[in-house]
Amino acid sequence: MGWVYGERNFKQKEFYQLVNDFDLTEKEKTVYWKELSNGFFSSFEELSKHYQSPVKKPVYRRTFQSRPYADDRYNAWYVKTKIEHAESGSLLGKKIAVKDNISIAGVPMSMGTKLLESYKPKEDATVISRLLDHGADILGKSVSENLFCSGSSFTADSGPVENPKVPGYSAGGSSSGSGALVASQQVDMALGCDQTGSIRIPSAWCGIYGLKPTRGLVPYTGIGSVDQLLDTVGPMANKVSDLALLLDAIAGKDGLDGRQAWLSMGQSFSFAEQLSSEISGKKVGLLQQGFRIEGVSDPEVDQTVQKNVGYFKEVGVSVQDISVPEFDLARNIADVINTLGTSRQQLRYGGSSFGTDTYYPIDLSETFKSRINSKTVTSLAPLVQLMLYGGEMADGQIEDYYGRAQNMIPLVKKAFEAAFKEVDILALPTVPFTARKLPPLKANIKEQIDSGVGAGHNDGPFNIIGCPAISIPCKLDEGQKPIGMMLVAPFGQDQQLLDFAYAYERMIA
């Protein structure tokens, strides 16, 4: 491979080698080196000297308790916290967990890997500040899968997270801990982060509600990133009203996330107050490409989702089949961007990206870059290494796969815009199959790959086009494992999406 971990520094000897072909004396080389150092690099030095973070300093005192915890039955907590908060607000009395890639100043953050052991962020993510300002009781950070590279729940270096609804089975990922903590009612709500399904997969398999909001509705500022085309942070809960309440608290422009350009500064939201079950006359489209996927779909899941979509007819909603052939292309685009984003942005540069005005916590990127090298990369979870080496091999080709994927997004967007002219909401399985058994602790690489990939088959396309998508728990027959039904709304129509989920929740209560 052309790029080697830990070999980034451009040094004087490399410069001398570079100019060997020129007819220069050693003295001339030294002069040119000094000119390069004093001129070209002086801007870098000045920037570092005068750097000031635009993030406000934390105002609430906090303490934390490290693992292990005697009462952590599902191995879902990474660290427990006690944080002071506002004495009033919409979230007062609500117990909340946040995924362990969301920065809480002074509290350990590992993102599922020992590589970040002992790292403590210096700043609060915007969503943390907003939770505390609304009176939330943040009980701690939930386990994240190893660098977000799995849709299952066994790759974190802290050990596998068990599904509270189906013991011995995966809780889904990569927001595995958040799903398990909400499902076991240890918290009222949780925050997850979603790149190609990481909120919706654990929500589906744990039998809870999970929302991936419209891209940019909630600022991603201060959160460990995979790729800015994919990253989204959103709420997970046992009730739709709690989803809406949490979304109200965290939504809105913060002036630091470039993905929020479509919002107005100071714009407030009242999703909870406006929740309505009145959806009569609306249209739902069963997205055919999300069902009966050869070699992937479980017929029981397809049948259950179709049956549950039928409940909408009871409140005056029409249901029809709809086809978007570009959905299959969108899956491939999401896979390419996710793989290359993980390899390029996250693992090479610690999450810091290029060509954007979006703020990123430099203490996280600098810590990550200082610890990853040719030796430590081999200690990462096998699924992470698979993403890394797959991305490196693709990057080593002449073809610019990332550029090709990015350039095809408008085609996919146009196809879904056309679909939303026919229906108000799309419906399909969140995950085409039910939760898999957790693999043995010493499972071989094939078992780990088979258990850890594929769950996001239906989810990634909605990250790349930025539409809001929600996983809602299906009404089940006796003995069925949890199954999630995913509803998708047009860009910016999060209220409509929540209303559909709320109407459904009331119908099956």
369 is catalytic: no
Show Cβ contacts of residue 334 under 8 Å, excluding neighbours closer than 6 positions.
196, 230, 456, 460, 461, 463, 464
CA 165 to chain centre: 23
How would you class 372 by CB atoms within 10 Å of its CB: exposed for 0-12, middle for 13-18, buried for 19 or more? buried
Q: Are 249 and 134 in contact (CB under 8 A)?
A: yes
CB atoms within 10 A of CB 327: 21
Q: 10 Å Cβ neighbour count for 24?
A: 14
Using DSSP, state whether 102 is helix, strand or coil: strand
Give yes or no: 99 in active site: yes
Beta-strand relationship, 469-473 and 484-488:
antiparallel
Which residue in 99, 165, 212, 369 is the catalytic one? 99
Residues 6 or more apart whose Cβ sits within 8 Å of residue 167: none
Q: 492 near 261, Cβ under 8 Å?
A: no
Buried residues in 416-431 as b, exposed as e (16+ CB within 10 A)? beebbeebbbbbbbbb
Of the candidates 198, 203, 343, 365, the residue annotated as catalytic is 198
Q: Is 224 helix (H, G, I), strand (E, B) or coil?
A: coil
Q: Which DSSP category does 300 fall into?
A: H
What does 149-164 look like in DSSP terms, one character per residue?
Answer: --SSS--STT-PPBPS
What is the rounded distance in angstroms from the CA atom of residue 18 to the CA atom of residue 41?
Answer: 17
Q: Which of 152, 153, 170, 174 is catalytic?
A: 174
DSSP run (H or E) holding 96: strand 95-99
| Contact of 452 with 154, CB cutoff 8 Å | yes
Q: Where are the alpha helices (DSSP H) in 227-270?
A: 240-250
Whole-angstrom distance, CA of residue 221 vs CA of residue 361? 8
Annotation says 158 is catalytic: no
Which amino acid would we find at residue 293? Answer: I
- Active-site residues, by number, are 99, 174, 198
